[in-house]
Structure 1
Amino acid sequence: MQSNKVSIKQLIHYFKIAVSGKEQDFTSGSIRKAVFMLSIPMILEMLMESIFAIVDIFYVSKVSVNAVATIGLTESVVTLVYALAIGLSMAATAIVARRIGEKDREGASQAATQVIFLGILVAIFISVFGILYPKEILGLMGGEPELIAEGYGYTQVLLGGNVTIMLLFLINAIFRGAGDASIAMWALVLSNGLNIILDPIFIFGLGPIPAFGVEGAAIATTIGRGSAVLFQIGILFYGWGKIKIRLKDLVLKVAVILNLIKVSLGGIGQFLIGTSSWVFLMRIMSEFGSEVLAGYTIAIRVMMFTLMPAWGMSNAAATLVGQNLGAQKPDRAEQSVWKTGKFSAVFMGIVSVFYLIFANEIISWFTPEPEVIKNGALCLRIIAAGYIFYGYGMVIINAFNGAGDTKTPTWINFICFWLFQLPFAYLLAINLDFGPVGVFAAITIAEVFITVLGVIWFKKGFWKSVKV
């Protein structure tokens, strides 16, 4: 009994250290402790990110079914922005983690500065299209005329202000690579807190602020994320973490830029494959009407809330792999991945049971529409059936990325998403007339396939020799 009390006391002590951001060396000592110390702030960070989605859908569902469907269609396009941001952030995490493991903090700071430059340039390009063509974007996604008329402002604001999404992702990736996961967590606490406060104000109106409807959700989110980016930049310039950007770093360094591009291309390709397949799945779903689309959108938002902790653990694995490879400890890097994968799978298994039992009740929190609840609950149950594989697979795939081997996950995604998931979803849903169930089943089976291929290739160990 006494030993249990001590272990619980130690757990609480480690938790406090993890969220406080005290400097840690993750290349020595207990691997289990290292996984815990990195995972806790990363899980909390990812939970904060997913709360964005939950809060938006909660308030917007009070506006109309079309408003919810607008978010679904827009988010499927915004995932292309995420693909670029995550691809660049993978490069940032891998290179910064490797430099920190090599004890080269100046090199880490240079990489951080250059990835921010790249992110801003990409965001400007996307903003132009988002501001000028929001109606056309929704039209291409299969939105009905009434939906486009009501929701194009949401698309315009979210894509037009995508620099806040881009920089929030990239700078948090820099913090994670350096082992400053708690700073990334607090940045999202700030952005999420503002979003929760501002969402109802801009959606429904308050005092001199008019009711913007679904567009208000995009305004609130952009303000929240923008404030967090200013907070992040302040920390980088003041050097409150392991990375400090100095005035002399604010110049383009071609060699560093080229190295970042080389590493990030695989990551960008990897997520473009995954997210573009998501866009096509959303296009298939739009064939079944707004109620099905709304149910699918709510279910995915709910799922994201519990997928984010698994993403948090997978990010911890990526940092541990990068830092330990930099410290010339490949075996420790591998052990970190297997242990983190086990923790993630256990967590996701518990969540899947909860979703299978309470799917209808969960979806009904967001909408009173019987048809929306029916389709949302069906989606939640079918996709949750593969949750254990998702949890393990996320860790394995992100371990490759942490090593700088972004090509392997790209090929795995290409095979599983484009060659299998999309044709299979279309065959089941449209040709064999299974409807939305065909799409849900294709998503689950593809994710299982990804995990199996990932584990097989990870065991071969080629990732240990990648140079960044």
Structure 2
Amino acid sequence: MSNKKTSGTLTENIMGVMTENRLLLTLSIPMVISMTVQALYNIVDSIFVAQINENALTAVSLAFPVQNLMIAVSVGTGVGINAFLSRSLGEKNSDAANGSAVNGLFVIWLSSAVFIIAGIFFSQAYFRAQTDIQEIIEYGQDYMFIVCVFSLGIFNQVTLERLLSSTGKTFYAMCSQAAGAVINIILDPIMIFGLLGFPKMGVRGAAIATVIGQSLGALIALFFNLRVNHDIKLSFRKFRPNGRIIKAIYGVGIPAILMTAIGSIMTYGINKIVLPFTATAAAVFGVYFKLQSFVFMPIFGLSNAMVPIIAYNYGAKKKIRIIKTIRMSVIYATGIMLVGLVLFQLIPGPLLRMFNATEEMLAIGIPVLRIISLIFIFAGLCVVLNSVFQALGHGTESLIVSFARQLVILLPAAWLLSRTGSLAAVWWAFPISEIGSLVLSLIFMARIYSRKIKNIG
């Protein structure tokens, strides 16, 4: 595929001309809305499942690492596509931009095939490795089998939405994601409890509603890419995998995948640490993740919008625009996080009661929410800085930060604190690890600024 710049083909994108604050808000607000809707779907999904019983909620919580791994692969690959595609647009290289889109879709379909196989053959073994409560195993096996076997929906949805966001079409990305989430929310009670003539399917119904919503979102995103995304052309005519482009995508994508996948390992590890205390602790931890997503998802939407802006302007050698974008992103992210911190500190009880919390769940959960939410003080800054690393092709630094926070610091600290015999002590490992993450992020940002931003232009 040609590397020739085709300046006559690609005109200047809004990434390089719109004022920085307006551009960030224009791109991020639709993504923040769509991410917030996605977080709302996650919460509502668990609220409905919790109405079955606590074991159903625990099963879905234990399945979360697998779902998170699927998201890690799809989002991480999307980050690689996003960075390469946006940089190509900044360089006015239409061939490379189109190539990154079709090669990205090709590799994401291969990734989905791996999860389909895992869902068919390893669902039961996964749950038996964590608990011997038969009801949890049965619920979990049903849920995991469905979301894995039909994983092509989430993989296509995320990747196609990233193609839209990488060219500044974040409104359309918002519409596709929001539509999938809304359909999911509507179908959840219908399929779980057997409303409107549907059979009562329980946890299976929650999984089916999830994959239907994801598949619908993917179809809508595909439609928008074909009809309104004129910066790239999706065509598989005479397609051949391009090793150079795939390598470039995964140069950023693999660290991003591993960075998110580490979260799956961490969640699995924490569940293994707290399950010996009580199965309720795993349910509480799952609820925390659902609730904190309502705070983090808008930050991820903001940082996702920031990535193509920085990548484009780095390709266009516009230093001031890069610096202003980073600064404003940090301000907005920190403000959102502080709002989340206040809510978690003031009303943890009402938040937990949304999930049909028992007295035992409240007794465990209220301290959990107050302790872990202390990470919000620094987390917004860390998320933004790690997205900057990815946008500039330094996904390895993001990986190192995530690895250090969740595996080098968090899990060992949680295990050591569990040796005290106090479940409440385990949760203090989260603020401890976040401080380590902040220190590493600032060190890496100073080095990357000196090497890649300071002398631009």
TM-score, structure 2 length as denominator?
0.92
Q: Which 10-residue stretch deviates more, 247-256 or 132-141?
A: 247-256
- Report the equivalent of 1:276: 265
In 1, Cα distance between equivalents of 2:438 and 2:195: 48
Q: Which 10-residue stretch deviates more, 61-70 or 312-321?
A: 312-321
- 3-state SS of paired residue (1:69): helix
**Which of residues 427, 431, 434 is equivalent to 2:422?**
434
CA RMSD of aligned residues (A): 2.0
- 3-state SS of paired residue (1:133): helix
Residue pairs, 1:142-153, within 5 angstroms: 142=131, 144-153=133-142
5+ residue gaps, structure 2, are 1-11
- 3-state SS of paired residue (1:36): helix
- Report the equivalent of 1:214: 203
- 3-state SS of paired residue (1:404): coil
- Report the equivalent of 2:274: 285
- 3-state SS of paired residue (1:26): helix
CA contact (8 A) 2:251 2:395 kept: no
Residue pairs, 1:56-455, within 5 angstroms: 56-142=45-131, 144-248=133-237, 250-429=239-418, 431-435=419-423, 437-455=424-442
Letter aligned with residue 427 of structure 2: F
Deviation, structure 1 residue 238: 2.9
- 3-state SS of paired residue (1:211): coil
Deviation, structure 1 residue 117: 0.7
In 2, Cα distance between equivalents of 1:387 and 1:238: 40
Deviation, structure 1 residue 247: 4.3
CA contact (8 A) 1:73 1:143 kept: no
In 2, Cα distance between equivalents of 1:248 and 1:463: 38
CA contact (8 A) 1:425 1:442 kept: yes
In 1, Cα distance between equivalents of 2:163 and 2:273: 36
CA contact (8 A) 1:143 1:286 kept: no
Letter aligned with residue 20 of structure 2: I
**Which of residues 421, 432, 456 is equivalent to 2:443?**
456
CA contact (8 A) 1:239 1:245 kept: no
In 1, Cα distance between equivalents of 2:308 and 2:277: 42
Cα 1:145–1:341 shift into 2, 3 Å: same
- Report the equivalent of 2:9: none
In 2, Cα distance between equivalents of 1:131 and 1:464: 47
Q: Which 10-residue stretch deviates more, 343-352 or 76-85?
A: 76-85
Q: Which 10-residue stretch deviates more, 67-76 or 322-331?
A: 322-331
Deviation, structure 1 residue 358: 0.7
Letter aligned with residue 321 of structure 1: I
In 2, Cα distance between equivalents of 1:55 and 1:164: 20
Cα 1:243–1:51 shift into 2, 3 Å: farther
- 3-state SS of paired residue (1:103): coil
Deviation, structure 1 residue 239: 4.2
Letter aligned with residue 416 of structure 2: L
Cα 1:247–1:418 shift into 2, 3 Å: closer
In 2, Cα distance between equivalents of 1:301 and 1:33: 31
In 2, Cα distance between equivalents of 1:126 and 1:276: 16
- 3-state SS of paired residue (1:432): coil
Aligned residues: 442
Deviation, structure 1 residue 208: 4.5
Deviation, structure 1 residue 250: 4.1
Deviation, structure 1 residue 240: 3.9
- 3-state SS of paired residue (2:355): coil
Deviation, structure 1 residue 273: 2.6
5+ residue gaps, structure 1, are 1-22
Letter aligned with residue 348 of structure 2: A
Q: Deviation digits for residues 234-278 of structure 1, max 9, x if unmatched?
A: 222334453331343744223222222333222222223333122
In 2, Cα distance between equivalents of 1:381 and 1:369: 18
In 1, Cα distance between equivalents of 2:220 and 2:264: 29
- 3-state SS of paired residue (2:275): helix
Deviation, structure 1 residue 94: 0.7
In 1, Cα distance between equivalents of 2:53 and 2:28: 38
- Report the equivalent of 2:42: 53
CA contact (8 A) 1:26 1:34 kept: yes
TM-score, structure 1 length as denominator?
0.89
Deviation, structure 1 residue 178: 1.5
Letter aligned with residue 50 of structure 1: A
